[in-house]
Chain A
Amino acid sequence: MVTADKLDELQMEPEAPELDLSWLNLDTEWGVSAELGRKGLTLQQINKSIYGEIPATSVDSSARPRGAAPPEGATPRMTPWVLGDATETFSDSAALLYDEAVSRQWSSATDIPWDTLDELPEDIERAMVQLCTSLTEVEFIAGDVPGKWLPRIAADHYESGLFLMSQVMDEARHTDVFRKRALANGGGLLLQGGGGGLRQILEAEDFTQMSSMLHILGEGFVQSLFRLGELIAHNEAEKRIFRLAAQDESRHVAYGVTHLKYTLEHEPEKAEEVHWTLDMFEDTLVDPDQANPGLAGALVYLLGDGDVDEGWRLFWHVRRKQVLEYLHRLDVAGLGGRLETGRLHPALAGALDEN
């Protein structure tokens, strides 16, 4: 047996690597300098010259950064396949959204005023922890999905990759903060949600279809709800949770909208495919058999502060807002007309009826 002591005794000179200076004479673009801006040195500011040129198609499945010279000698395929067409994953806003994500990170441990969590009436506390049980579930899947897609993003389209990496972080924090709220005030985790369309997002094998479901419809609805968090929250801690989570969701929704816009501008024929995906996902979202039995009840109960009739009234106010904002996002992305053509699910279209 060779022991560490014995090895020390027998230590030799370490073998030196071979000196190869060929990389000092590369044919890459040289002389690039970025200027600092108001927010420091952002991705936008380094996306200059050839380094800022987004290839419409990338055939590179290695980790080579955009603009770097190819290595000498044979190189392996790092991933079985990448989504090489920019239309599959790209968004003109991805770099900006990533920069914003980095600058707006927050901590569920220290940025939430947990000391404002006073004891709530028992029914209200239960409704809140039921809502948080459902939300921690949803956010859990929302973190798995971008993780699944990361190995398929081409390094040439790194902006989208970085954005998805920031989304993984955001969703971890959301999973965590809603779990914390469920457990922090004497309650606990209650009833699981029953899927409610999460499986469809996970199993999608087309990025744009996935993004339409996750970013535009799913997170869009969640964002609209969080922005009305004032109606649900009973203390400053809960208000802050909804506010900060809504801010994160806004980035995710913006990515989905701008990605879809980019795709449809370059491949308008994909519109029908996305419509079909939304037909399917809307149908799942409103299907009573797929519905989360706790979520709707808890939400109505919280909105009405125990008054179920008032809660229903406010629920439809929230739903109307969710649907209007969803349609607006689709319009911006270039996929308007779902309401006018009767394609929007009747249960969602019905939410627009003022009565």
Chain B
Amino acid sequence: MPDNDVIAAAKERLEQSGLPSTWLDIPVHWGVKAKEQATPENGGLRFQMLNVDVYGEVPDVWENNTEIPRGAVPDTRTEQMGYSIFNKAEVWSDLCAELYEDAIADRWNSSADIPWDSLEPIGADLERAVCQIATMMSEYGWTKAQTTGRWLQEISYGYIEVKLFLGTVVFDAARLFEVWRKRALANGGGMGRGGRNWKFLPLTQSYTFSEFVVASIMHDSMLLTLLRHGEQLAQTEAERQIYRLCEQDIERHLAYFVDHMRYLMLKEPVRREEIHRYMNKAEWYLAKDGDDTLYSALAVIMGDGREGAEEAMADVAELRREQIETYLGYLRQCHLADREDRLNEELRKWAGMVELEEEEKIPV
């Protein structure tokens, strides 16, 4: 229990000195102690361990537009800070706090954690192809960091766990950008050709966080499938490690995006059709982007040079089919299994799915 005499004496000393003491009047939530909980065996003092009492109560609607920490006492003089997201369903996932700590525990360093000394000459075509892939990976990393970062100023402190996690996404995306740039410039190659990148517009243009999330699920699913082929695509141990570490990061991002979308679908099922519209848009831009440079570079690698590229296109097509399946698989986890019936016609062809009969199509 608070010792009132000690606090009263402290107040008196502060007031005699002309200092405000109102902060000593605030009731505190005594009793939460980390010391017993945080051990190296259980991962130290993780955010979730302290999410107790008023501090752990995440409201469905957060009503304060300042930077006030959740659980603190407001100062009504504080200016509004311009946040726009006050609805838990718009951003929430129960996994955020744990994923945030996981991201930090999984941190890696592209300078020191990649065995760059394993790089060796691999032939001009293959080096060109690796550098082309690296260029496009870098572009996505850059876009991902920029588009994720811009949502930070929109999300209020009520959902602090989400913001902490998105901070790690921005940082991971920075690493995605730079580790592939390093690969392009480390082995006698150079940068390749930039992508047309119409497909990224749904990320940059999103008006709502949910729109950004469904576009992210699509692009991250495509990327993750590619990264999972790292063993097949990597020419050296350095690349193998890059594929592996990036895969680990993107899996974490998808865990959040998917769990959040599942939460949204459960809490606000009325938004289902709206979400489908965002998917319509994201898929349309992907289908119409019309830039097959990445897939052609993959064909050169899978075909072990330009001569074998034509034949390798069947394997590339299979990889692209897997990408769409991965995307649909994640949507199933979000309670959006009906997307299979509404997938963009072009993407259906990529996935080798039959064209739906007219009567089976759901109007878009």
Chain A residues near B196: list those with CB within 8 A. Answer: 71-76
Kindly state the separation between the CA atoms of A187 and B27 in the bound complex, as whole angstroms: 10
Kindly state the separation between the CA atoms of A14 and B45 in the bound complex, as whole angstroms: 48
Name which residue of chain B comes closest to A29, CB basis: B190
Kindly state the separation between the CA atoms of A16 and B353 in the bound complex, as whole angstroms: 13
Asked whether any CB of chain A lies closer than 8 Å to the CB of B277, the reply is no
Asked whether any CB of chain B lies closer than 8 Å to the CB of A162, the reply is yes
Interface size, chain B (Cβ < 8 Å): 145
Asked whether any CB of chain B lies closer than 8 Å to the CB of A246, the reply is no
Interface 1/0s, chain B 303-341, versus A by CB < 8 A? 000100110011011101100000000000000010011
B139→A63 contact, CB < 8 A: yes
Interface 1/0s, chain B 31-48, versus A by CB < 8 A? 111110010100111110
Name which residue of chain A comes closest to B198, CB basis: A76
Asked whether any CB of chain B lies closer than 8 Å to the CB of A43, the reply is yes
A63→B112 contact, CB < 8 A: no
Residues facing A in B142-177 (CB within 8 A) are 142-143, 145-147, 149-153, 157, 160, 163-164, 167-168, 170-171, 173-175, 177
B314→A16 contact, CB < 8 A: yes
Which of A16, A144, A162, A191 sits near B317, CB closer than 8 Å? A16
Asked whether any CB of chain A lies closer than 8 Å to the CB of B182, the reply is yes
Chain B residues near A63: list those with CB within 8 A. Answer: 139-140, 142-143, 146, 194-195, 197, 200
A107-B104, A141-B81, A191-B23 in contact; A23/B295 too (CB < 8 A)?
Answer: no
A172: min CB distance to chain B, Å: 3
A18-B292, A40-B116, A296-B20 in contact; A171/B139 too (CB < 8 A)?
Answer: no
Residues facing A in B184-203 (CB within 8 A) are 185-198, 200-201
A23-B193, A189-B72, A202-B81 in contact; A65/B138 too (CB < 8 A)?
Answer: yes
Asked whether any CB of chain A lies closer than 8 Å to the CB of B69, the reply is yes
**Interface size, A (range):** 35 or more
Name which residue of chain A comes closest to B150, CB basis: A151
Chain A residues near B145: list those with CB within 8 A. Answer: 150, 161, 165
Chain B residues near A158: list those with CB within 8 A. Answer: 142, 177
Total of A-B residue pairs, C-beta within 8 Å = 448
A64: min CB distance to chain B, Å: 3
Kindly state the separation between the CA atoms of A202 and B13 in the bound complex, as whole angstroms: 36
Asked whether any CB of chain B lies closer than 8 Å to the CB of A115, the reply is yes
Name which residue of chain A comes closest to B171, CB basis: A169
A15-B350, A191-B72 in contact; A78/B204 too (CB < 8 A)?
Answer: yes
Chain B residues near A306: list those with CB within 8 A. Answer: 10, 13
A69→B191 contact, CB < 8 A: yes
B152→A166 contact, CB < 8 A: no
A46-B181, A189-B71 in contact; A7/B353 too (CB < 8 A)?
Answer: yes
Chain B residues near A166: list those with CB within 8 A. Answer: 171, 174
Residues facing A in B68-118 (CB within 8 A) are 68-75, 77-79, 81-82, 100-101, 104-105, 107, 109-114, 116-117
B164→A67 contact, CB < 8 A: no
Chain A residues near B110: list those with CB within 8 A. Answer: 41, 102
Name which residue of chain A comes closest to B309, CB basis: A19
Which of B21, B128, B197, B350 sits near A24, CB closer than 8 Å? B128
Chain B residues near A191: list those with CB within 8 A. Answer: 22-23, 26, 72-73, 75
A102→B300 contact, CB < 8 A: no
B178→A189 contact, CB < 8 A: no
Which of B67, B185, B291, B351 sits near A140, CB closer than 8 Å? B67
B182→A117 contact, CB < 8 A: no
Name which residue of chain B comes closest to A9, CB basis: B354
Chain B residues near A309: list those with CB within 8 A. Answer: 17
Chain B residues near A188: list those with CB within 8 A. Answer: 28-30, 32, 53-55, 71
B320→A122 contact, CB < 8 A: no
B96: min CB distance to chain A, Å: 12
Interface 1/0s, chain A 173-188, versus B by CB < 8 A? 1011001101111111
Question: Can you pick out 11 interface pairs between chain A and chain B where the beta carbons lie within 8 Å of each other?
Answer: A41-B110, A63-B195, A78-B143, A117-B34, A122-B6, A137-B68, A140-B157, A169-B170, A189-B73, A194-B78, A293-B75
